[in-house]
Amino acid sequence: MAPLSSEAPAVAGPMTPRPFRVGSRRSETADTWTLTLEPADDGPPPRFRPGQFNMVYAFGVGEIPISISGDPGGEGPLEHTVRAVGPVSAAICRAQEGEMLGLRGPFGSSWPVPEAAGRHLVIVAGGVGLAPLRPALLEALALREQLAGLVLLCGGRSPRDLLFRAELERWGADPGLELGLTVDAAAGGWSGRVGVVTKLIGGARFDPANATAFVVGPELMMRFAVDALLDRGMRAGDVYVSIERNMKCAVTQCGRCQFGPTFACREGPVMELGAIEPFFRTREI
């Protein structure tokens, strides 16, 4: 019998998960964790663009698409921020330091941050929608000299449900970034805003004729946010949303994530509103 090889299997492709080891885990909220993942095969971590996702495999449980939440310009391990809402995401959130997960990717389209040079960049995040937008914000902060302005509008269910709280404080103190933060409800002790995130759009400082907007959140929140951006005078072609459908294969073979004439795993998840407007509000899609 031939000895077991430590080399990668001969048959590998986009459907073969690559083993990654959990480097660290950090609690963001009661049900959301940020994991750092390091390749277990001694290869480098994959390069990615802001907005791209990986298929993350909890061995023996299942595989789901998770956006990358780390710094695209960083040399460190991959970061994924995961909310436990089902058996697979709960298993990923439970993964301890040193445990193995499988990864396929990165897949999908990305936030056009460099294309926003010379313009105001408005980032609107609802709930865990801040996770896929964090790489875009980090890239925008690195390119801030090229932007006319940078606005982050962030909404959450309650103060204890906000992600990246230490960074939010830092971003709030950054004079080069206008941060609007609000929660849907709050008990005593919260001196910030209470109300829906879409309400912040009307008062944010940006020129709608020269702005690019990125929006991520539950689809209902995105619809209202998009309306508020268009009401401010923005063009649909300058607004980008993240369409996250039921992705299974991530390589356009299974058809589960079809969104009108597009596949969310290939043309998405980041899509220009102008290109998808005819079916963005179609209930059957």
Q: Which residues bind another protein (CB under 8 A)?
A: 64, 83, 85-89, 126-128, 155-157, 161, 182, 184-188, 190-196, 198-199, 203, 217-218, 220-221, 224
Minimum distance, C-beta of residue 89 to another protein, in the bound complex (Å): 5
Element (H, E) at 89: helix 87-94
CB nearer to another protein: pick between 24 and 27: 27
CB nearer to another protein: pick between 45 and 156: 156
Residue 216 tokens, joined: 């991520």
Minimum distance, C-beta of residue 232 to another protein, in the bound complex (Å): 14
CB nearer to another protein: pick between 182 and 262: 182
Minimum distance, C-beta of residue 205 to another protein, in the bound complex (Å): 13
Query: What is the rounded distance in angstroms from the CA atom of residue 98 to the CA atom of residue 24?
Result: 8
Strands 270-272 and 62-67, sheet pairing: unpaired
CB nearer to another protein: pick between 140 and 257: 257
- State whether residue 195 is helix, strand or coil: coil
CB nearer to another protein: pick between 99 and 219: 219
Query: What is the rounded distance in angstroms from the CA atom of residue 280 to the CA atom of residue 285?
Result: 8
Element (H, E) at 222: helix 219-231
Minimum distance, C-beta of residue 169 to another protein, in the bound complex (Å): 18
Query: What is the rounded distance in angstroms from the CA atom of residue 265 to the CA atom of residue 243?
Result: 9
Minimum distance, C-beta of residue 10 to another protein, in the bound complex (Å): 33
Among the listed residues 161, 177, 167, the one whose alpha carbon sits nearest the alpha carbon of residue 126: 161
Query: What is the rounded distance in angstroms from the CA atom of residue 20 to the CA atom of residue 59?
Result: 11
Q: Any residues with CB less than 8 A from the CB of 10 and at least 6 apart, and which?
A: none
Minimum distance, C-beta of residue 199 to another protein, in the bound complex (Å): 6
CB nearer to another protein: pick between 63 and 139: 63
Evaluated on CA atoms 141, 147, 148, 153, the torsion sign reads negative
Minimum distance, C-beta of residue 62 to another protein, in the bound complex (Å): 8
Cβ burial of 260 (10 Å; 0-12, 13-18, 19+) is middle
CB nearer to another protein: pick between 88 and 257: 88
